Amino acid sequence: MWLVTFVLAAPAALMAALVALMITPVPDQRQVLSAATEVYAAQTNNSSSISALITAADGRALIIRNYLRVHNSPLEPFSDEVVRVGDKYAVDPNLLIAIAQQESNLCKKIPLDSHNCWGFGIYGDKVTRFSSYPEALDRVAATLKKKYIDQGLNTPEEIMVRYTPPSVEKGGAWASGIHQFLGELQ
């Protein structure tokens, strides 16, 4: 009798557990905590009130810094500047990083002493040089805003038509790369 009960009940219990796992929602695990996150311990007192202090911080620079660190990029110390300049010109900071990844492997393959990680104004023998990465970031972001985004060129495919026309003729590999790198930065 015990054996028959076990043989019938065990599979039913396993099925019920599997169904419960499949219909139970999974909480979102993608939470970003910054170095500024503070945690407090409870204090012992006779008070019946509860209070908490939670400080929110912008995690974009941290995400960019971690991405640049993983790729050993010389842009890593300028992560905060990437976000600041992106906000200044209303250009997605991730787009600035994705273009640098596509054009120069995050500044690891650039013309000597150019600080030009974005392939900006580089064609033939012409090389646009900047005195620093912050200067280059500012100029590239300002140009993307004025000559691309403000002109309605918002997607990598639309930007590619003006930014790197030869890529259009070659099937759009530039835009595909930008999409890939934007996805990695999510």
Domains of the chain, CATH where assigned: 60-184 (1.10.530.10)
Contact 93, 64 (CB under 8 A): yes
Percent of the chain with pLDDT over 90: 62
Q: What residues contact residue 183 under an 8 Å CB cut-off, 6+ apart?
A: none
pLDDT band at residue 3 using 50, 70 and 90 as cut-offs: confident
Dig out the tokens for 30 from the structure: 């993608």
CA distance linking residue 104 with residue 116, whole number of Å: 8
CA distance linking residue 54 with residue 38, whole number of Å: 7
Does the pLDDT value for residue 185 go beyond 80? Answer: yes
The pTM of this model reads 0.70
Does the pLDDT value for residue 84 go beyond 80? Answer: yes
CA distance linking residue 162 with residue 68, whole number of Å: 27
